[in-house]
Structure 1
């Protein structure tokens, strides 16, 4: 599932993985979110509502560039470092094709559906 993403106004390649949670995420688009740092490994932002996590795939650890959803807090996470061990609370939604440096400095993300 293709999406259009900009980080601080710069376009970056991105895709969603087609999971049930990523399809629910796509229903929220378009989004413009302010990002803050979390634990020196990810940039996070609150979503307007929690996503449906039914039918989630087996947990996997987040890797640099992953776009993820942390279910307990209902937030979006962009990993600029590899994440902690796999957790059922963290659902990978897709991936951003951008370097760790740009992700780590990002302050604003805009996401729209690709035509």
Structure 2
């Protein structure tokens, strides 16, 4: 049986984590498990990634999707989806960050946070905006299209 010192364990963990990233700039395993989408509002494009979860895969199965993004509490843009997303294995709630894309299971709506918000039971994080968050700073409702960006 091997005896590991704390220092040996730290070295082993460092080697394991460094093995998942590449010096040539290719994505590590976490980045490869993300799916890229774009949200188009008129001429403006918002880029985002979706996590590889059951709920996110349910959303991707509905894409491309034409929706109306409505302002909700000057904090988030929301849109109701044609079909509810599966929530099996999802946490009971999350505290979203600005730029998070989430699903509010009790109402069946997509929520894209452009303002600060606290923990909400029933909220499931789906992904994150990577560029174009400023395009959500409008009042009222606007039509939008969400589409999956093909992998290279």
TM-score relative to the length of structure 1: 0.87
Greater Rg, structure 1 or structure 2? 2
Aligned to 2:129: 96
Aligned to 1:81: 115
- Is there any run of 5+ residues in structure 1 with no aligned partner, and where? none
| Pairing 1:13–2:40 present | no
Aligned equivalents of 1:19 and 1:82: distance in 2?
24
- Structure 1 residues 1-115: aligned runs within 5 Å: 1-57=35-91, 59-85=93-119, 87-98=120-131, 100-105=133-138, 107-115=142-150
Moved over 4 A (4+): none
In the TM superposition, residue 68 of structure 1 has moved relative to its aligned partner by: 0.8
Q: Is the CA contact (8 Å cut-off) linking 2:92 and 2:121 kept in structure 1?
A: yes
TM-score relative to the length of structure 2: 0.68
Q: Is the CA contact (8 Å cut-off) linking 2:102 and 2:127 kept in structure 1?
A: yes
- Higher RCO (CA-CA < 8 Å; seq separation 6+): 1
Give the length in aligned residue pairs. 114
> Which has more helix, going by share of residues?
2
- Is there any run of 5+ residues in structure 2 with no aligned partner, and where? 1-34
